[in-house]
Structure 1
Amino acid sequence: MTTPDFNLLITLDAVLAEGSVVKAAQRLGLSPSAMSRALARLRETTGDPLLVRAGRGLVPTPRAIELRERVSLLVQETTSVLRPAETPDLSRLERSFTLRTSEGFVENFGAALLARINTEAPGVRICFLQKPNKESSALRDGSVDLETGVIDETTGPELRTRALFRDRFIGVVTNGHTLCNEKITAENYAAGNHIHVSRRGFAKGQIDDALELLGLKRNVATVVGGFATAIALARASKLIANVPERHTGNLRAGMYTFPLPFATQEFTVSMIWHPRMDADPVHRWLRGLLLDICAAE
């Protein structure tokens, strides 16, 4: 079996990305004639014309469209493997990263992360996005560089993960709430009016399951989509919110918080990234910063 010419992958990536022989040649620093010869080799190797004439331009074939994303990822991963491992001069670096996080994470850890970045790499810009679901496609297509969350069966099996911290659910009420002045039991906790947090609008969760084991049921007065909203409502009312302790530390300032009077499962918050970024030295530096900050808080 003849060993394939892997240099053709770079040529194929340029051709599929540019959709033009001339532009692909400019991208790779080749002459148009050399690029045409390379395209002829690609057509022979793949058994497909890849680009065909349509009026004055070229359009990709179905096979070219199918290959475009796969070839781009292969070239990116190969480039990452061959890239020197040294960290660039962070003080002169200019680069942007998109971090997708659950509600409350930025409010609690974002300021410390930005302060470290400003000190070490002031040219690095961070774009924080809310995490509406656990879908992994944004990490795969590169529109998100890093995200935080709880690992479960929906997390893509190819993704890299690193634990940041352990967390647990606690109760939070406004100062002056009746629970502030009495011993909190499962009974008087369940007797209150509650805020339930569910991104998908469900009215029950693990709190209800734990109470059911004790023969108790709580009254859920409202369902909201995030922890910040739940805390804001609890602060301005007599409702009880249940939120992650470490995830919401700054959001709960000035409020009364208490351990739940029954057992619930702790969980691990991790950072998650695509394997193509694993060896990138700047991405590795950013992951290290996030790990340091979460460990210190």
Structure 2
Amino acid sequence: MNNLHRLDLNLLLTLDALLAEHNVTRAAERLHLSQPAVSVHLARLREAFGDPLLLPGPRGMRPTARADALREPLRQALEGLAQAVAPSTPFDPAAADQTWRVAATDYAESAILLPALAAIRTLAPGTRLAVLEAVPPRMARQAEQGEVDIAFHTTEGAPSGLRARPLFKESYVLAMREAHPKAKRRPSLKQFCDLEHVIVSPDGGGFTGVTDEALAEAGLARRVVLSVPHFMAMLHIVAHTDMVAMVPERLVRGNAALKIMEPPLAVPGYEMTMLWHERRHRDPAHQWLREQIVAAVGT
């Protein structure tokens, strides 16, 4: 039977009831229909399947071999359809077993995911969180195909076509080790330029950033002597050498190994945004995860 368009849902529900009851009258009562209406449905089903489906017997009706073969697949299909159209139930984090996949840089791991992790683990202990490398050109496709649930990116330059929630605005501070020879007071602009700087270059090998752009506008330049691809490596280097770095403030907040101070020039910050696809927007579990992240970062 390959003419599925000839069968509407009401006919399939009637067939399911007939296969369960083996009796037109009882099937009609179960469906809240009249007996003649169920008889009409049975006639249409016999025509559609090219099989009598149910035959008269000594104790009601006996299913044919075709009807017996239909019974379990039809029941499973109707149960699946009922679940698909049922109203979404509230998310219960204590009973959840989801695996969430998040695209994040090591900065976002530290500044966004780490603050949210304690609440997620406490409230939803059966869930798991997988952090994937954030590759901006892939984010929209990964979200659309369900490969990631959430991604983090600066608002400027964020991939288009995704739902977005601004999380916070970030500013830059000057970081150096606590025992650095220049840690006693805020350096002058000249002293700042003379210090040895380490910079994060996500694409690899870059020696300029927004700080250098701000200095260039004033006709100045600093000494960038090291370029690394990750913030965590940069912080380790700053904590154990006399190199300094301009770093996002949230990344070093509360770090006792570092001396943090305002830089001697204004450097533009940025805004961090949480991104997700429309297909996940109304999912109760996804909504709960987004709420935990928003609450953790303090907005």
TM band (smaller chain): 0.5 to 0.7
1:95 aligns with 2:93: no
Partner of 1:150: 154
Q: CA RMSD in A?
A: 2.6
Residues 1-297 of structure 1 aligned to structure 2 (within 5 Å):
84-136=87-139, 137-153=141-157, 155-201=158-204, 202-249=206-253, 252-295=255-298
- 1:107/1:248 contact within 8 Å kept: no
Q: TM-score, normalised by structure 2?
A: 0.67
- 1:85/1:279 contact within 8 Å kept: no
How far did 1:145 drift? 0.8
CA deviation profile, 1:18-63 (whole Å, cap 9, x unmatched): xxxxxxxxxxxxxxxxxxx9xxxxxxxxxxxxxxxxxxxxxxxxxx
Q: TM-score, normalised by structure 1?
A: 0.67
- 1:104/1:248 contact within 8 Å kept: no
- 2:214/2:267 contact within 8 Å kept: yes
Separation of aligned partners in 2, 1:208 and 1:254: 26
User: Secondary structure, in 3 states, of the residue corresponding to 1:181?
Assistant: coil
Distance 1:175 1:231, change over 3 A: same
Separation of aligned partners in 2, 1:276 and 1:283: 10
Distance 1:215 1:174, change over 3 A: same
How far did 1:223 drift? 0.5
CA deviation profile, 1:198-257 (whole Å, cap 9, x unmatched): 11122111111111122211111111112111111111111011111113435x332101
- 1:166/1:267 contact within 8 Å kept: yes
- 2:239/2:257 contact within 8 Å kept: no
- 2:176/2:244 contact within 8 Å kept: yes
Separation of aligned partners in 2, 1:97 and 1:187: 48
How far did 1:185 drift? 1.7
User: Secondary structure, in 3 states, of the residue corresponding to 1:178?
Assistant: coil
Separation of aligned partners in 2, 1:294 and 1:283: 17
Separation of aligned partners in 2, 1:132 and 1:158: 16
How far did 1:91 drift? 1.7
Letter in 1 for 2:259: Y
Question: Larger radius of gyration, structure 1 or 2?
Answer: 2
CA deviation profile, 1:173-201 (whole Å, cap 9, x unmatched): 11222321233221110111110111112
Letter in 1 for 2:108: F
How far did 1:106 drift? 2.5
How far did 1:267 drift? 1.2
Distance 1:176 1:83, change over 3 A: farther
Separation of aligned partners in 1, 2:225 and 2:186: 23
Separation of aligned partners in 2, 1:93 and 1:213: 53
User: Secondary structure, in 3 states, of the residue corresponding to 2:293?
Assistant: helix
Identity, in percent, stands at 24
What stretches of structure 1 move > 6 A for 4+ residues in a row? none
How far did 1:87 drift? 1.8
In structure 1, list runs of 5 or more residues that go unmatched.
8-36, 38-78
Partner of 2:11: none
How far did 1:146 drift? 0.6
How far did 1:132 drift? 4.3
- 1:99/1:145 contact within 8 Å kept: yes
How far did 1:152 drift? 2.5
In structure 2, list runs of 5 or more residues that go unmatched.
8-47, 49-81
Aligned residue-pair number = 219
